[in-house]
């Protein structure tokens, strides 16, 4: 019986290699398959050709006899473990991606604008999730070098070409799009672009702001109210890993639980009096 094509690795696939035997340090290796290439690991050399045209979930061995199980790589694994992913800036943490699309109610037909492309991790996630012909994803980055390197990251990750990266300082030059469903902001001073974003959003459109400090939260809140936003919510996403050992199930002893504050708000044509009063306090 022949194996279905989607269950066979092919050249260009991003794959995750997990050691079949336990190691002192967790090993998660991500590579992009290319015929003729080899991977050097501390467990020996692995040939890409030994993986290409083999079954998903099968085993590949290094020249030293170390066995690895091979899976299609998930995007979080790629972001954390793929050596060719270029960290231009601190990324939006994968554990926050789900919170963002859930509470912003991002749909596959939405027009989405991102302000602050950075390394392109969230851009990649949104492109994979939108992934429809009608969807539009526009990302603004003010630093030309960052934009260039983010584009390279997206190409390496085989991201669907529904995105466009524009080099521009939105705080000074604004954005082109109108009737936008969702705007995501990840820059140090998000309050400087909220007026521009208000004009770009459709009525009831959603804005999400990602900031790591309380100081930024306070300035952002005041700017949101001043610029006609309502239904403001702030979330902190705390994720704790649990040790997956049947004989010792407990929280991992090491972990990084805080990433940032995530602020959600909506464009309103009317700002309630109580919001203005809160602003004046």
Distance of CA 76 to the CA centre of its chain: 8
- SS3 of 243, please? coil
According to the model, what pLDDT value does residue 130 have? Answer: 80
Tokens of 161: 């070409």
According to the model, what pLDDT value does residue 10 have? Answer: 94
Distance of CA 159 to the CA centre of its chain: 12
According to the model, what pLDDT value does residue 91 have? Answer: 85
Q: Which of 232, 228, 254, 231 is nearest to 241 (CA)?
A: 254
- Averaged confidence pLDDT in the chain: 90
As a whole number of angstroms, the distance between CA 71 and CA 43 comes to 18
According to the model, what pLDDT value does residue 135 have? Answer: 73
Q: Which of 268, 258, 251 is nearest to 93 (CA)?
A: 258
pLDDT less than 50: residues of the chain? 1-2
According to the model, what pLDDT value does residue 211 have? Answer: 96
Please say whether the structural domain 94-280 has been given the CATH code 2.160.20.80: no
Q: What percent of the chain has pLDDT over 70?
A: 96
According to the model, what pLDDT value does residue 68 have? Answer: 94
Query: Tokens 């919001």, residue?
Result: 275
As a CATH number, domain 5-73 is 3.10.330.20
According to the model, what pLDDT value does residue 2 have? Answer: 46
Concatenated DSSP letters of 151-209: HHHHHHTT--S-EEEEE--HHHH--S--SEEEEEE-SS-GGGSHHHHHHHEEEEEEEEE
Q: Which of 36, 138, 14 is nearest to 80 (CA)?
A: 14
- Region(s) of the chain under CATH 3.10.330.20: 5-73
- Region(s) of the chain under CATH 3.40.50.150: 94-280
According to the model, what pLDDT value does residue 4 have? Answer: 58
Q: Which of 179, 212, 221 is nearest to 198 (CA)?
A: 179
Burial class of residue 22 in the structure, from the number of CB atoms within 10 Å of its CB (0-12 exposed, 13-18 middle, 19+ buried): exposed
As a whole number of angstroms, the distance between CA 77 and CA 94 comes to 9
Concatenated DSSP letters of 39-101: EEETTEEEEGGGTTTSBTT-EEE-TT--EEEEEEPPHHHHHHHBTTS--SSPPPPHHHHHHHH
């Amino acid at each position: 019986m022949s194996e279905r094509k989607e269950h066979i690795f092919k050249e260009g696939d991003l794959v995750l290699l997990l050691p079949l035997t336990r190691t002192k340090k967790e090993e998660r290796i991500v590579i992009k398959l290319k015929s003729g290439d080899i991977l050097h690991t501390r467990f020996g050399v692995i040939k890409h050709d030994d993986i290409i045209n083999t079954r998903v979930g099968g085993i590949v061995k290094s020249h030293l006899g170390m066995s690895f199980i091979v899976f299609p790589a998930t995007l979080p694994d790629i972001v954390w473990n793929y050596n060719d992913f270029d960290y231009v800036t601190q990324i939006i943490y994968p554990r926050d991606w789900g919170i963002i699309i859930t509470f912003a109610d991002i749909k596959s037909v939405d027009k989405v604008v991102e302000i602050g492309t950075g390394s392109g991790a969230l851009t990649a996630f949104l492109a994979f999730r939108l992934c429809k012909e009608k969807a539009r994803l526009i990302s603004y980055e003010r630093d030309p070098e960052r934009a260039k390197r983010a584009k390279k990251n997206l190409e390496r990750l085989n991201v669907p070409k529904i995105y466009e990266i524009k080099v521009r300082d939105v705080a000074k030059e604004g954005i082109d799009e109108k009737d936008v469903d969702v705007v995501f902001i990840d820059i140090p001073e998000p309050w400087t672009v909220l007026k521009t974003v208000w004009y770009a959003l459709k009525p009831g459109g959603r804005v999400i702001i990602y900031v790591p400090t309380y100081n930024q939260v306070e300035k952002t809140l005041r700017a949101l109210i001043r610029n006609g936003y309502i239904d403001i919510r702030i979330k902190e996403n705390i994720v704790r890993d649990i040790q997956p050992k049947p004989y010792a199930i407990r929280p991992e002893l090491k972990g990084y639980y805080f990433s940032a504050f995530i602020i959600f708000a909506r464009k309103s044509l009317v700002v309630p009096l109580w919001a203005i009063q809160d602003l004046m306090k």
